[in-house]
Structure 1
Amino acid sequence: MIIFFTFDVIGEYTLFEENELELESGSQVSISDYLKIIYRRRWLIIITFLVVFGITCFVTFTTEPEYEASTTIMIKSTGAMERTLFEFDYMGAQTTLISNQIEILKSRTLAERVIKSLNLSDVRDSLNLFKPNEKGEYLSMRGMIGVIRGNMDVSHRKDTDIITLTYTSNSSFDAAFIANTIAEEFRSLNAEENSGELSELRNFVERQLEKKSEELKLSEDRLREFQEKEKLTSLDENTSELVNTLSGYEAKLEQAQIELRSNLELKKSLEQQLNERKETLSTDLSEISSGYLLSLQSQLAQAEAEKTKYMMAIQSEVQDASKQHFESRLKVYDERINALREKLNEEAKKISSSNMVSDPFQLSQQLLTQYLDVESKVKAGTATINALQEVVSEYGGRLNFLPEKTLELARLERKRKVDEETYVMLTQKLEETKIQAAAQSRNVHVIDQAIEPMAAVRPKTNMNIMLGVLIGLGLGIGLVFLMEYFDNSVKTSEELEAMGFNILASIPKIEMDKYEEKLESKLEKLGPIEGKRIEARLITHLDPKSPVAEAYRTLRTNLQFSKIDRQLKTILVTSSGPKEGKSTTAANLAIAMAQVGNKVVLVDADLRRPVIHSIFGIDKEDGVTNYLMGKNNFEETIKSTFHENLFIFTSGILPPNPSELLASQKMEQLLHKLNENFDTIILDSPPVIAVTDAAVLSTKVDGTILVVSSGQTNKDALGKAFNLLNSVNSKLLGVLLNGVDVKGLYGSYDYYYYHHYYTKPGKGMKRLKSS
């Protein structure tokens, strides 16, 4: 625990504990304290701000502008594979469709098509994509693909089927032209893929239609030939009704068989596509179906068969059943079948979206969903065919009881009607397929084409400049407070007071270059003293009306009143470390004392690195060391100066044992002799922490001044110096805060205004009148 002492007005000691002082001072932090910190380090803020702002401006005004052009595309789910020949849920949910289309827009395949299209366009040579770089090199196909994909952004508008495609380029024309080219190539690619999917279905229907057309013609010819030959033109009413019913069932059976063959061909095609993407499936295709899916497929097949049998039974045996009852029962079957289909669809999607599929474009997932759906349709279709075959077999047996000629006519008539109904059905499906193909080719619609942008989106000049200002100031202020946080030096008198020290005076910083230039004429008039020049640090003598000189006079006054009960004659000036201004302080204090008529002697007791002789421009020989070693008498060592009341006792030659000399009886005799001959004796000593010289001398004087350099003296070092002085019972008069940068202290205006007002006659009056 560091203990500090301070003096009250009567010179008594007051004890403080460091932790108590820190708590007290911490609670008194105000906005003005922060403003002082900012003002003191304002140059760091200014430099940081200028650097950041300069870099921001440089980057902003040298960055090549970027333009964005956007086009909006609508993806319509026309159900080309949703409601094809057999009404499969072929394309999946619309959300999956949109996601797939976005991935296709970002794909390498589309980028290649775009580049090929741009290469064939009339404006090819004006596009930056095909221009050489600074080295004269052209982009490769891989490089151009990377540029197209990297500069493109695709987003989906929520709750809509709209996609926004945005392309960025250094040219406004390029941005709009390439964006529109991408949209057009995407539409073309989509149309080609959809037409390819439907072409297989259309080809199948056309093949079946052509086959059925020949069969219908053949059955019509045979019926006509038989009628002409046997002279039978029609069947009786009962037989005709039986033939019509049977032919209707046979037509349904044939339609179901055609559907089954179509499903089998589709299943085979999907298997082939999935096998080509075998690397995206972690499980073999034959092992993908789950037990629950197989159960659902069996239930659906059974429900389809039961519905078919019920319809056949109602139409043949319960002809008088009410229409309402018939429709209600069919509705129950339909609801059950639809529920099973939904469960099957959900289970198929669940399986296909599991970890068995690892396709970034979700194409294998989509194909697998379709495959599982078609597999369910095959099983349901097989069950329906079996049910229809039973009905057809039953009704066919009834015809066997007819006469031979009537039976043959019935069979020919039945075959013609079956072929006719099947032909009509296929014709309708072919037309539906054509319509769907036309609609599917237009499921990608460009709503708004991209137009050439008028202004660049980057760089955002105004925003960048604003950010540069904010970041520059913020970073500068942040650095200031960061440095302040790690800076443990004493900077203000308030900090010393918070630590419990008595402040004797605060000395403003002496700008040596400024004062040397200002006082050049005065230094020349003074002339050399023993061949040396007087340093400009003697500001109290050279510029007595300056703020610095006034501060030293304040120190003199405070020392005069610090001891009322006894005279203060011998004063030791020291510091915690080197280069804190103790020698300058000692010299100017001696001058200030001499200026009021006191006979003052300044003793350079720093026998290790003496500087007093250089400040006053005199030789250091024949000084303290010479006298203590008996080589010179008292009168020979005392040197006069430019002031009649000021004398210098230099250090003399540098001894090998300074501490022993200063602690000797001879030193005490010297101080006693100086007391007899001078009114005030001021001793300049080495730093306290470095050597013991100052601690030794502090016990031989009336009081000690501890010099603290603003912004340099470490608080820990200051505490250590105090402890060393306190350990030898030295009489610490207080501390002097030296080198205060008053220009860097926010709130110091009043002091300078009043000081200049009273030290420069007429100036203040002129300003007052002018205001």
Structure 2
Amino acid sequence: MNNYLLEAPPTHVEPGLTLGDLSKIIRRRRRTVYSIFGAILLLAILYCIFATRRYMATGIVQLQKDTDSGLSMSDLQNNAAAGGGDDALAANINLETQSQILQSDTLALRVIEDLNLEKNRDFQPHFNPIGWVMGLFAPKGIADPPGASLENSPARRTRLLKIFAANLKAESVSGTRLIEIDFTNSDPKVAAAVVNHLIQALTDYAFQTRVNSTSEAATWLTGQLGDLRKQSEEEQEKLAALEKQTGIYSFGTDNQGREQVYSDVLDRLQQSTAALSVASQNRILKEAVYKAVESGNAELISELGGTSTADTAPAVTNALSLIQNLRLQQANIETEIASGEKHYGSAYPHMVELRASLDKVNQAISDEVSRVQARAKSDYEIAQKTENDSRAQYEANRQAADALKDKAIDYSILREEATQSRGLYEDLLRKLKEAGVLEGLKASDITVVDPGRVPAKPKKPNVPLYLLIAAFGGLVLGLAGALIAEAMDRRIQTVEQLDRLGVPLVAILPRYSKEKRALDGIQHVRTLNAPRSAYSEAMRGLRASLTPTRTTMEPPRVVVVTSASPGEGKSLTAKNLAVSTAQQGKRVLLIDADLRKPSDKKGLEFSGKDGLSLLLTEEEQVPHILTVDGVPNLSLLPSGPVPVNPSELLSSANMGKLISDLRTRFDLILIDTPPLLPVVDALILAELADSTLLVARQASTTQDSLKRAFHLLASRTPRSSIGVVLNGVTMNSDAYHSYFGEKTSHYYMENVHETL
């Protein structure tokens, strides 16, 4: 067969999705975008209408510096480190610590019980379908005992704490010493009450922690003070009795206030006595610290960092500061784990990393506590050894003084012991008061700036914000839905898809009228009733594609019109092409070769008892050709009665002889065949034809079916003799504009029946 059809454009592969491609996809899938956008926006509107109004109360507290209090430790300590509690790092650590305490379970349980929040609407159990489904697979814990308290009901306590934490927000205000506390509830009065109770609970907790932090050291110091006081009183009584007995007086004191006696032995005794006093005081302080840290309580040990009892050695002081910092890291990581598990679940990879970090911090705290214990024990042992050495030196000097056998020496010794014992007692008593052991001595460092007030309007739902988010999310999801629909849709939509399939496109036909009478017969086809319409012009383009580009080439005499599947417009295309070609003055024969469909369903012109099926079964081949009124040069050959063996008849020698005879009588023979994929009839007839038109319908024919149909034809006929006609293209589609160009409608005088 000769090549009569236009050359197919070279196939090419698009480099990727461009903005132009995206714009075309959105235009094609605008219904999908509008549907998703409208659905999400409608859901947001319904949510804003029916959602429970939630109110947020806010309170602000100020965390003052330690120096703001009249009896602060930093004011009383003579050897405090410069700026130790007032630098920015310490203030930030303190703020973060108090913020985490506000969000602790201890304060939450106290507020829940005080306000009886378990009966509040927000804290009532609600059905959660996701939680119900997860509960079917998750192991069930032990049920709460009936009538048990909240503390002894783990499941009930956990549920209430989760709800409380989800509605609470406590964070420090950057660049200030303020902490903002927010709580959300459906009852505005309850929201304000929760904020105020939290502030009061934090104040009580801070004061109680400060008292408990030095209680263990205070207990030891109190016992030592009792012994010292008793010893001092006894020595004073002995000194008074010796003064009465001996009547000895001293020689006065020197410039440093030391007692002057008549012998240098007494001078050495005085010095050793003073050294013993200092060593005893140092040993008592070191022993107090050692007793405090011996418990291993990290919180108690960290609180010793701000008292004078811990101001014994730089190593211990630094270790206490490090424990404070590690405990802050521990609180921050625990908060982040709790927040992350609520949003992502415990199996989220980041949660695993956070738990590993928490284990490292806990181990670091444990190691540092052990090191502090070791350092405190070492300091205590050194102080005890120093005291023993001083006492041994004192005993040696005392024995030397006793050797003088002089009562004046006894008097001086007793006087010195009484003075040093009294001084040691007073000094330790001052230290005890500075440590804050006397309850109520130090004022609270938390000041209420703004108490929680009843809010006037709800915080949620934020209608403008929710609608804006819904609009944005609907637009994004709509675009995503359009892209997904485009990716999953295998139907032919654009000319580019045909190019990628490698099939030659010879014509595009606009969508035909949906009027039923337009499908009844040739008298109502578009090329006859609306010759100036866009469809008629497109049909002339298809007619021109069958004309050879060079005069030396023979035009195709026999053209098969078929499609991959039913309902793609092949019969209507064949009718219009026949009329258009006949209008050109050529003799045209339209053969209905669909022997599988009754003739009475194909239009009035194709009805009748005679036709192709009878012609192929008879020996004498006298074609019963019909003419069409009003269409000169156009003849018809109906299919005739439905035979039992249509494929065998079409592949018989009679069919070949018939086509050869008709070639001499007509300029163009159009053969309307059944669909290509369901039956083999079209393939049989394609071998007898010069060219084949494969009709595909936009938004109906799939790429896979068109590709398979084309390959089936190419396996039996030359590829160059096959042309694809894209039918049913809407005039406002990208396929139409890319083929015919933009703004071409004014060239058509009859667009009444064209579907836009």
TM-score normalised by the shorter chain: which range applies? 0.7 to 0.9
Residues 538 and 615, structure 1, Cα contact 8 Å, conserved in 2: no
Match of 1:741 in 2: 730
Residues 611 and 639, structure 2, Cα contact 8 Å, conserved in 1: yes
How do 1:234-253 residues align onto structure 2 when only pairs under 5 Å count? 234=250, 237-239=260-262, 246=269, 249-250=272-273, 253=276
Match of 2:425 in 1: 423
- Distance in 1 between residues matched to 2:494 and 2:214, nearest whole Å: 88
Segment drifting more, 473-482 vs 68-77: 68-77
- Distance in 2 between residues matched to 1:208 and 1:486, nearest whole Å: 86
1:355-381 residue CA offsets vs partner (Å, 9 max, x unmatched): 998897998678656534432331232
Match of 2:618 in 1: 630
Match of 1:151 in 2: 167
Matching residue within 102, 105, 128 for 1:105: 102
Matching residue within 576, 586, 590 for 2:578: 590
Tell me, what secondary structure is at the counterpart of 1:571? strand
Segment drifting more, 378-387 vs 617-626: 617-626
The aligned amino acid for 1:552 is M
How do 1:95-134 residues align onto structure 2 when only pairs under 5 Å count? 101-119=98-116
Matching residue within 508, 511, 515 for 1:509: 511
Q: CA deviation at 1:46?
A: 1.7
Matching residue within 176, 190, 200 for 2:206: 190
- Distance in 2 between residues matched to 1:107 and 1:497, nearest whole Å: 66
- Distance in 2 between residues matched to 1:469 and 1:199, nearest whole Å: 60
Q: CA deviation at 1:198?
A: 3.6
- Distance in 1 between residues matched to 2:716 and 2:357, nearest whole Å: 83
How do 1:94-493 residues align onto structure 2 when only pairs under 5 Å count? 94=90, 101-119=98-116, 142-155=158-171, 163-202=179-218, 204-234=220-250, 237-239=260-262, 246=269, 249-250=272-273, 253-254=276-277, 256-257=279-280, 260-261=283-284, 263-264=286-287, 267-268=290-291, 270-272=293-295, 368=370, 371-434=373-436, 442-446=444-448, 448-451=450-453, 458-487=460-489, 489-493=491-495
Q: CA deviation at 1:684?
A: 0.5
The alpha-carbon distance between structure 1 residues 220 and 111, as it changes in their structure 2 partners (threshold 3 A), is same
Tell me, what secondary structure is at the counterpart of 1:701? coil
Residues 217 and 292, structure 2, Cα contact 8 Å, conserved in 1: no
The aligned amino acid for 2:110 is R
Which structure: larger Rg? 1
Segment drifting more, 536-545 vs 184-193: 536-545
* Structure 1 stretches lacking a partner, 5+ long: 278-333, 524-532, 762-771
1:228-258 residue CA offsets vs partner (Å, 9 max, x unmatched): 3334344684348865774564365356446
The alpha-carbon distance between structure 1 residues 674 and 590, as it changes in their structure 2 partners (threshold 3 A), is same
The alpha-carbon distance between structure 1 residues 29 and 476, as it changes in their structure 2 partners (threshold 3 A), is closer
Residues 541 and 591, structure 1, Cα contact 8 Å, conserved in 2: yes
**Superposition TM-score, scaled by structure 2 size:** 0.72
Segment drifting more, 125-134 vs 30-39: 125-134
- Distance in 2 between residues matched to 1:356 and 1:736, nearest whole Å: 69
- Distance in 2 between residues matched to 1:722 and 1:55, nearest whole Å: 47
How do 1:548-567 residues align onto structure 2 when only pairs under 5 Å count? 548-559=535-546, 564-565=551-552, 566=554
Tell me, what secondary structure is at the counterpart of 1:742? coil
Q: CA deviation at 1:754?
A: 0.7
Cα RMSD (Å) of the superposition?
5.0
Q: CA deviation at 1:385?
A: 0.5
**Superposition TM-score, scaled by structure 1 size:** 0.71
Matching residue within 688, 693, 698 for 2:686: 698
Q: 2:650 matched to 1:662? A: yes
The alpha-carbon distance between structure 1 residues 29 and 182, as it changes in their structure 2 partners (threshold 3 A), is closer
Residues 626 and 632, structure 1, Cα contact 8 Å, conserved in 2: no
Q: CA deviation at 1:548?
A: 2.9
The alpha-carbon distance between structure 1 residues 679 and 460, as it changes in their structure 2 partners (threshold 3 A), is same
The alpha-carbon distance between structure 1 residues 259 and 461, as it changes in their structure 2 partners (threshold 3 A), is same
The aligned amino acid for 2:35 is I
Residues 2 and 690, structure 2, Cα contact 8 Å, conserved in 1: no
Residues 71 and 179, structure 1, Cα contact 8 Å, conserved in 2: no
Match of 1:21 in 2: 11
- Distance in 2 between residues matched to 1:235 and 1:155, nearest whole Å: 68
The alpha-carbon distance between structure 1 residues 430 and 596, as it changes in their structure 2 partners (threshold 3 A), is closer
The aligned amino acid for 1:22 is H
1:315-364 residue CA offsets vs partner (Å, 9 max, x unmatched): xxxxxxxxxxxxxxxxxxx9xx9666578769999999999988979986
* Structure 2 stretches lacking a partner, 5+ long: 129-148, 151-155, 253-259, 301-310, 331-355
- Distance in 2 between residues matched to 1:391 and 1:83, nearest whole Å: 37
Residues 591 and 638, structure 2, Cα contact 8 Å, conserved in 1: yes
1:194-228 residue CA offsets vs partner (Å, 9 max, x unmatched): 22344454555455445544443443333333333
How do 1:644-655 residues align onto structure 2 when only pairs under 5 Å count? 645=632, 646-655=634-643
1:728-756 residue CA offsets vs partner (Å, 9 max, x unmatched): 44572633221112233385795563145
The alpha-carbon distance between structure 1 residues 673 and 610, as it changes in their structure 2 partners (threshold 3 A), is farther
The aligned amino acid for 1:107 is S
Residues 592 and 639, structure 2, Cα contact 8 Å, conserved in 1: yes
1:440-486 residue CA offsets vs partner (Å, 9 max, x unmatched): 55244445544555665544433433333333233333333344445
Aligned residues: 668
